[in-house]
A and B are shown apart, each in its own frame.
Chain A
Amino acid sequence: MIFEKTKQALQGLFPQSEKTPVTALPPAQEDAAESKKTPKKEEPRPDGVVERDYKVHGYHLDAQVSPAQLLEAVSLLDKAEFFIESITGVDWIKEDQMEVIYDFNRYDFDLCRVVIRTRVPRSNPVVPTITDIYAGANWHERETHDFFGIKFDGHPHLIPLLLPEDADYHPLCKDFKV
């Protein structure tokens, strides 16, 4: 099954010494893992692979990686013939972090939605680009740059896409006032 394979492949990114969270979380623990992410808690979720309940969350695998591991994780998915759905960001202002979320899905009936997320400090939000792996990430990254000011290192054409050419604001940052 592609789900198991992908999970193992993604877990391979995290050395055992780091003690990544357990794979299959029972529902109670899962909630605990979730509440860790909420901005109320100071401590963000550690990197690692989490299995999610598809019925509730709408995706199967949730991998948080460091920006340095991102390209490796994405090329793993590329090799497994995932397609890119979208890229977006979330501004966790209380934790002073920016999160970039990559959604991947499959064309075949072996349903497996994978979410890859990575966190960068708000003061210097730089993530490597994945346009070399997925050409279709181009616009998604430009859009994320428009909205959050996250820079994608190595992006070929990082100019405003949806916002006006001269836009110097990032409207989806939580400190942007309408």
Chain B
Amino acid sequence: MSAPIKLRPDETFILNVGPQHPATHGVLRVKMEMDGEYIVNAETVIGYIHRMHEKMGELKTYSQFLMNLSRMDYLGALGYSHGHVLLIEKAAGIEVPERAEYIRAITVELNRIASHLFWFGAFVMDLGGFSPLMYALQDREYILDMLEAITGSRLTYSYYRFGGLYNDVDDDFIAAARRFIPRMRTSMKKYHKLVTGNIIFRKRLEGIAPLTPEICRKYGASSAVARGSGINFDVRKNEPYSVYPEFDFDVPVFHECDSLARYNVRMAEIEQSLRIIEQGLDKLPGGPIMPEKKLKAIKVPPGDYYQAVETARGSFGVRLVSDGGKTPYRLKLRSPTYSNMHLFDESCRGMLIMDALAFMGSLDLVIPEIDR
């Protein structure tokens, strides 16, 4: 709800939301200039857990740095590794077996669901509802168990390798994934009844924080932030990579531009991801998961390469400038939330603080991913 009263810039106070605040989900600080409960001005301060991944990328060899990618975003780790391995494979000309690509797509989509489920729970908790978080975590647990069984870890998977995968999936995984799909669909019905249809929930989000497509474009927003504003942009469709062209899925787009639209996009995405997983399991070919020839140390011909992928949080890009050496000359990680968070400052002006925090929740922030 925008401010119906005239704001008084001369009678304001500064409110520091964060670095430790329940709504920021990490160490994010927003310096808000408030007039009562209305925000006059906001300045986001980030960088509290900046780890300089890009410098590490320059100092480590390609395969050593691969592990860092899954530490960027602890909720959707696989998507980030996927972008990196795709880039290096493209640049160094490594062939990937088809089975490996299918398994990558399946695991990335599982990871996307896990990430969206966590976001769903945390978002509803931001709005004051506690129980959906627990239900979402319970469903997410099935995914983590599945992924743990094949990758060996629960959050920071380090599962992909240049040219393929670290481990093949087994029949248990496939059976578990098949069991998971109908169970998740039932849960989605429950979530829609419990949360989406709830009048209090709808009233809190409808018309809150409208983001015009123009703002999205100026800030380079992606993921549900763009798709909730009527922009049909999904890297999986716009720039098809990996085996995504093989799958039949839709990109949910909502035109309301408000926080509820962003929520609806993510909820619809879970269902689309389920469709992808279902098709992936049906189509999963046999064969090796790594190239026949064992790869030696990877070298990339000199040049400038870019690869974008659609992670759970939006369009993640890796830019590699190579000089032909063992380590990248420059490795830039374009994180999607960085751009999505950036538009918060401009868009939250004139909002009530509780709406602004609901808006912040709808952006799906993972702070380590912003700070890198």
Contacts and interface: CB of A to CB of B under 8 A. Distances in A.
- Chains A and B touch (C-beta atoms under 8 A apart): yes
Interface of A: 34-35, 37-40, 55-59, 62, 81-86, 88, 90-91, 101, 103, 105-109, 111, 113, 115, 134-136, 138-139, 147, 160-164, 171-172, 178
B47 A34 contact: no
B319 A163 contact: no
15 contacts: A34-B303, A35-B302, A38-B302, A57-B305, A58-B306, A83-B218, A84-B219, A85-B308, A88-B330, A90-B329, A101-B319, A109-B238, A135-B218, A139-B342, A172-B55
Contacts of B47: 160-164
Interface residues of B, number: 49
Contacts, number: 124
Given A84-B339, A88-B334, 9 more contacts: A56-B305, A57-B306, A82-B217, A108-B232, A109-B232, A134-B218, A134-B220, A163-B47, A172-B330
Contacts of A88: 319, 330, 332, 334
A39 to B, nearest CB: 6
Contacts of A83: 216-221
Nearest to A35: B302
Interface in B327-350: 329-330, 332, 334, 338-339, 342-343, 346
Contacts of A55: 90
B303 A57 contact: yes
Interface in B216-242: 216-221, 226, 231-233, 237-239
Closest 10 CB pairs of A and B: A136-B219, A58-B306, A162-B47, A86-B334, A88-B332, A83-B217, A162-B50, A38-B302, A84-B220, A107-B233
B54 interface: yes
A171 B238 contact: no
A84 B336 CA distance: 12
B343 A86 contact: no
Q: Is the interface of B mostly helix, strand, loop or mixed?
A: mixed
Interface string B70-106: 0000000000000000010011000000000000000
A39 B323 contact: yes
A102 to B, nearest CB: 11
Contacts of B59: 178
Given A59-B306, A162-B47, A139 B338 contact: yes
Contacts of A109: 232, 237-238
Contacts of A136: 218-220, 339, 342-343
B346 A85 contact: no
Contacts of B330: 88, 90-91, 172
A34 B304 CA distance: 8
Contacts of A172: 54-55, 58, 330
Contacts of A134: 218-220
Nearest to B324: A38
B84 to A, nearest CB: 13
B307 interface: yes
B371 A162 contact: yes
Contacts of B216: 83, 107
Contact of A107 (B46, B87, B232, B305): B232
A105 B310 CA distance: 14
A162 B58 CA distance: 18
A139 B372 CA distance: 14
Nearest to A171: B55
Nearest to A133: B218
Contact of B217 (A34, A35, A58, A107): A107
B50 A58 contact: no
B255 to A, nearest CB: 14
Contacts of B308: 58, 85, 105
B218 A84 contact: yes
B91 A38 contact: no
Interface in B271-323: 302-308, 315, 317, 319, 321, 323
Contacts of A40: 323
A56 B90 contact: yes
Nearest to A82: B217
B199 interface: no
A56 B300 CA distance: 12
Contacts of A37: 302-304
B52 interface: yes
Contacts of A90: 321, 329-330
A113 B55 CA distance: 25
A72 B57 CA distance: 33
A135 B306 contact: no
